[in-house]
Structure formats: structure tokens, C-alpha cells
Amino acid sequence: MMKSPKNENRQSFNPYDNVKRQSLMDKQRKEYYQRYNSPKIIINDDPVIPDYPIQATFKKNSNYNMKIVVVGDGGCGKTCLLVSYAQQKFPEIYIPTVFENYVTNVHCPNGKIIELALWDTAGQEEYDRLRPLSYPNVDVLLICFALDNLISLQNVKDNWFPEVSHFCPGIPIILVGTKSDLFSDIDPDLPMQLATDINAIGYIQCSAKNMFNIKTVFNFALNHFQKQKEYQEQVEKLLKNRLSKVIHSRNPSNTSQNRKGHFKNTSYDSTILLDAPLNEDDYQSNPYGNFENANKYNDDEFAFTRNDKKKKRRCIIL
């Protein structure tokens, strides 16, 4: 006796294989999601990131204003990172920072100008109450740690990330490993895993002393900021165009030149009211009634008008 194809499919179906297949698909989807949302790791020079050169002269007219705040343990290399980028050389004398700001103009690859403000912070505990003054209107956060100091890396997770998450929720974070020229006993996987845990957009190793990847840190931040701004401008332009179309469709022109289009979008009665003032002769007390035998005027409403007309019609025969 031959089996029907329907029964054949039922017998070949294995629920265990189906669960296993579904589990494998979920695992692949999760791995793809993690790869897609994982931070960009930059240990060596990255030629993909465009260059944003600093302009020699400062101009007040700029297309965008960007603010970068650098945080991290005291002595981890925050100030050297900023000074090396701003002055294009390594500072020979280290001075512990309280608050210092650097403002400069950078030239975008598409010709636009970004006014870049660099804010340095003090990592010492005695400045914990003053440090939050630097956070308002920040666009990108650089959380620094020294590659030769495991404690500074641990403090990123325990101290600095909770602080910036509290005062700057949703702001892009770049994890920066400084002093790459020195010997490091930190497991290379630890900073990468930490960058994923804190949802950083990138992890970059650099050395201010050798000027290694110094420009890359800020070029990466500037490129991310510029893409965000351009995307926001496109969205705002799209919404503005849609809104203007909606307003135009709901509020057509009332001029006599566009009368045809006006009739298409409004009723006939409203067009009369808008385009031509209502005269006394055009008035009808009941526009839906039968006016063949009815009086054109309401006896009570326009009584004074008829009396005036009768007075005006009087004549004198000489």
C-alpha cells in the first residue's frame, strides 16, 4: 500500500532537528548582531578613516560646533593626548590639569569647517564635584586608560563609565589606550571586551610620545560626528519637505488665478465665502428650501433694510 505524501512528510518531520536548527539560526543571528554592533578596533594606522587637518588660522564662521571631553585616571595621558594633537608635538613638561580647553578649526574632506572644542578634565578625586561642569553639550567622550596600568583599565568600568553614563546618557564613547610605546602586561582581549561592554563606538591604541595614532583618535571622532550631523540634516530635510507638502495640500491658494485648483480641494460654498464677499442680494435664509414662492428676505431680520429702501424710493412731483 502506497503512503500519501502528506503522511510521508509527517513521518520525516523530527522535532529535535527542528529545535536544533532553530538554535543554530539564533546563534548565527546573535553572532552577526554582535559583529555588526561591535566597536571598531584600531591598533595600527587605519587608512580608511579620512583626515581632518587643523587649520592654521581660526575662523568664527563654521558649519558645525563639536565638543570632545576626555576623562580617565590622573596621569594616564589625557593632557598629553590633547596637547600632542593641538600642537602637533609631544609636551616635554607634564603639568597636572584642573580644567583647560583647546579650541581650533578642522577642515572636513567635503570642504566644511568644524569648530572643535577639546575639554580636558582632572582625574583626581578632589575634583569629582567640578568635573561634571565639563559634560553639558558634549558630542563625543574619550575614556582613556594607560596600557601599562591595569588599574586604570579597571577604573574605566568601575568609575568612569558609570559617571559619564549618569551625566551624559547616549553620548558616543571612544575607549583610548594611551602609552602604547611602553611595555604592557594587560591581556589584549580585555580592552576589546570592555569596549563592547560599555557600548563604545571604537577602541584605539595610541602614543603621544611617538605621535602614534594621535590624529587617528580625533579623526575617528570627527568622522563619526560629521556622519551623525549629515544624517540628521537629511532626516530634517525629508521631514520638512513632507510637512510642506501636507500644509500645501490642506491650504491651497485663494487667489483667482488658482481657482481651478481651489475648487478641487474645497467645497463650492466655502469657495464663494472665501473669494467673494456675501452681498445682501445673494442671501438666502434657507439654502436647502424651495424658493420659488418664498420671500427672498426674512421678514424679521431685514425689516430695517426694507424700510430704508422704501424711504429712498420716495419721489416728489413738482
Collect all residues with Cβ–Cβ distance below 8 Å to 221 and sequence separation of at least 6. 68, 140, 142, 172, 174
pLDDT digits (tens, 9 = 90+) for 236-269: 888 888 888 778 777 765 544 554 544 445 444 4
Residue 34 has pLDDT above 50, yes or no: no
Take residue 226 and report the three cell numbers written for it.
560629521
CA distance 261 to 63: 41
How far is residue 11's CA from residue 205's CA, in Å, rounded to a whole number? 58
Grid cell locating 99: 580644567
Range scoring the smallest mean pLDDT among 82-91, 160-169, 212-221, 267-276: 267-276
Out of 78-82, 122-126, 135-139, 204-208, which region has the weakest mean confidence (pLDDT)?
122-126
State pTM to two decimals: 0.66
- pLDDT tens track for 181-198: 999 989 999 999 999 999
Grid coordinates in use for 286?
434657507
Q: Measure the CA–CA gap between 117 and 82, rounded to whole angstroms.
A: 11
- Give the mean pLDDT of 280-308: 50
Q: Which of 70, 63, 98 minimizes the C-alpha distance to 86?
A: 70
Task: Write the secondary structure of 122-136 as one string of H (helix), E (strand) and C (coil).
Answer: CCCHHHCCCHHHHCC
Where do the domains of the chain lie, and which CATH numbers do they carry? 64-233 (3.40.50.300), 252-318 (no CATH)
Report the alpha-carbon angle 153-151-88, nearest 5.
55
- Grid cell listed for 145: 586608560
Is the per-residue pLDDT at 12 higher than 90? no
